[in-house]
Chain A
Amino acid sequence: SQQGEEDPQALSIQEGENATMNCSYKTSINNLQWYRQNSGRGLVHLILIRSNEREKHSGRLRVTLDTSKKSSSLLITASRAADTASYFCATEPSGSRLTFGEGTQLTVNP
C-alpha cells in the first residue's frame, strides 16, 4: 500500500483563494517532502520538512507536520492559475527509497 495518502484527490478553487492539501503516512519518517508536477512534466521539489519541525514556510507555501498523527498539510495562499498542477507528498520510510502519495490534482480557476 502507498506510504503516503493524500486528500482530497482533486481540488478546484478560484484564484485568490487558499488551497489546503493533506497527506497521511504509516511509518516513522526522517522527513517529508512536497512536490509539484505540471501535466506531462517532471517533478519540482517544493519544500522539505524534517521530523523535528512542526511548520515551515516558503513564499506562499506553508507546510505543517504532525508526527503524532502521521500527517502533513500543504497550504498554498492566494492561489494563482499557474498553481494548477498535481501535488505529491513523499516520504522515505526505509532505506533511501522515496515513496510518493497518490497526489492531489489542484485546479485554480482564473
Chain B
Amino acid sequence: GAVVSQHPSRVICKSGTSVKIECRSLDFQATTMFWYRQFPKQSLMLMATSNEGSKATYEQGVEKDKFLINHASLTLSTLTVTSAHPEDSSFYICSARQGATRADTQYFGPGTRLTVL
C-alpha cells in the first residue's frame, strides 16, 4: 500500500509556542489530505480537509486561525498549531488520498503525539 509519513512523531512544547507537523505522501501524489485529532481512547475526529493549491476546509468548531493548514505541493501538507495550550495536547493524524472521489482509499500517517506543558 501507499506510504504516508508524519514528522515529528512526538513533540513536547511550552504553552504559547507554535508547533508544525508535516505530512508527506512518499510514493504517490495526494490531491487531498486530511487532518484528524484523536483524544485518548476516543475515535478520530476530522479537523480539516486540504486540497493542493487551495484553502483548507475546516470542520465546524475547528478554529482555522489556530490550526493553520498548508498544502503547498501534492506530497506535503503541514498543520501548525499556533499558540498551543495544554488542551491542544492530542494525537494528530493525517491521511492522504490520491484522487478526489469516494472510491479512493485514504492512507494514514503514523500520527504525531503533541504534549503542551
Task: Report A's interface with B, CB cutoff 8 A.
Answer: 2, 30-31, 33, 35, 40-45, 48, 88, 92, 96-103, 105
Contact = CB atoms under 8 A, between A and B. Distances in A.
Q: Chain B interface: which size bin?
A: 20 to 34
Interface string B50-81: 00000000000000000000000000000000
Contacts of A88: 43-44
Given A31-B103, A102-B42, 18 more contacts: A30-B102, A31-B102, A40-B91, A41-B110, A42-B93, A42-B109, A43-B108, A45-B105, A97-B34, A97-B46, A98-B34, A98-B95, A99-B46, A100-B43, A100-B44, A101-B43, A102-B43, A103-B43
Nearest to B49: A97
Nearest to B41: A105
Given A92-B102, A98-B34, A42 B110 contact: yes
Interface of B: 1, 4, 6, 32, 34, 41-44, 46, 49, 91, 93, 95, 97, 100-103, 105-111, 113
A84 B62 CA distance: 32
25 contacts: A2-B43, A31-B102, A31-B103, A35-B108, A41-B110, A42-B4, A42-B93, A42-B110, A44-B108, A45-B1, A45-B105, A45-B106, A48-B105, A96-B49, A96-B97, A96-B102, A97-B34, A97-B49, A98-B34, A100-B43, A100-B44, A101-B43, A102-B42, A103-B43, A105-B41
